[in-house]
Structure 1
């Protein structure tokens, strides 16, 4: 028995989603929406002093205006260090689509970070090319050729 995956079907939509989250974090559209909802317009934005690990994150990122976007399958981000860097203003913003624990637990401090975008797991968006992948694998199977995206499963 051979099993295959839909690997590659979400590549374009995940990349689009990452770009949207990056732009949202960089331009702080979430703040604009908050002010709009309250019927206010911001005046001056303040910044807190850098925390102990925030400097490390900022230095690794390259500048205080840098951002972090993670749309991977599993979180590779130190969420505590990221939170400190965001709160200290050491980085410009971040957007995470995956977390160390999913779903992100209610009450997690990441929900309170003002310059962090936390969309639901939606980067995959719409399937593109699923029919073509299935038809191609069926043709390959009938022709006795190697299938695309084969995974190894131990029974």
Structure 2
């Protein structure tokens, strides 16, 4: 069995499942998107920033259960199909994770967050001009 820890991410419209593995140890953590988004709406908190914090901490917690570490470094890119305020879909791609300078294998790199699309025809047609993309590097 491999000494390298593995993070696998599975997402659907309601939950994100983060699975960490190393040898025979497995940790499974869930993020309930509906519960988080309802809470953010109620608290009027910034949605994306809070979601990313929850995602990062959940990945760290799952990884820490199978590979105890002090510092986790994570790199990801998120992109939207329009301006962030008008976007109906945001895709997060996890590009790199390190735990105390140990590379972590990543399976299922993409998380897709979708919502209702209330944009008009012309706004949808011209959205390619307003697409948004951002790279993030964090140490936790």
Using the size of structure 2 for normalisation, the TM-score is 0.29
> Relative contact order (alpha carbons < 8 A, sep ≥ 6): 1 or 2 greater?
1
- Bigger helix share: 1
- Bigger strand share: 2
Which protein has the larger Cα radius of gyration, Structure 1 or Structure 2? 1
